[in-house]
Amino acid sequence: MRLLLDAHALLWWLGDNRRLSREAARAISGADEPLVGAGTLVEIAVKRSLGKLTLDASWPDEMVADGFGVLAVSLAHVSRLQDLPFPRLAGKPHRDPFDRLLAAQALIEKIPVVSRDSALTAYGVTTIW
C-alpha cells in the first residue's frame, strides 16, 4: 500500500514518539511505499530553520534510511490544489498551504494520509490515525 505522511506523523515516526498512534505506526511499517510529500519536507525545513523544531540536520537522511520516498509536486497536484475549496474549520476558512498541498497530492494519487489533522478530512482525504 502507498501512503503519505503528514509532518507530525513523520517527525513522530523518526523520533519514536509515543504520540504516534498504534494504527498509524502499523500502517507506516506495513506500507509498500511510504511517501512524504515535497511540500511536507519544505514545511519541516522551514520550521526547523525558524527554530520551531529541534531536529538534527541529518533528518532527511534518516527519513531515506527508514525507507521513505518523496512525492514530488506535479502539475496535476497544482491543478487540483488551485481548485480545492476552503472548508471552514472553527468558523474560519482553512488556508494552510502545506495542508492544502498534501490534500491535493492525496486526492490526485488516491492514497491515504497518516495524520491526526481533521482539516484533511474536510477536503475529502482518507486519513489513518
Q: What's the pLDDT tens digit per position in 45-92?
A: 999 999 999 999 999 999 999 999 999 999 999 999 999 999 988 888
Beta-bridged to residue 88, according to DSSP, are: 93
Residue 101 lies in a domain: yes
CA distance 95 to 92: 9
Q: What is the pLDDT of residues 107-117, one digit of tens each?
A: 999 999 999 99
Domain count within the chain = 1
**Contacting residues for 120 by C-beta, under 8 A, at least 6 apart:** 6, 99, 102, 103, 106, 113, 127
Range of the domain at 30: 2-123
pLDDT at 17 over 90: no
Strand, helix or coil for residue 128: strand
What's the whole-number average pLDDT of the chain? Answer: 96
Residue 129 lies in a domain: no
- Single out the residue of 89, 109, 93 nearest to residue 101, CA to CA: 109
- Percent of the chain at pLDDT > 90 equals 91
What's the pLDDT band for 42 if we cut at 50, 70, 90?
very high
Residue 12 lies in a domain: yes
Residue 128 lies in a domain: no
Q: What is the CATH number of the domain that holds 63?
A: 3.40.50.1010
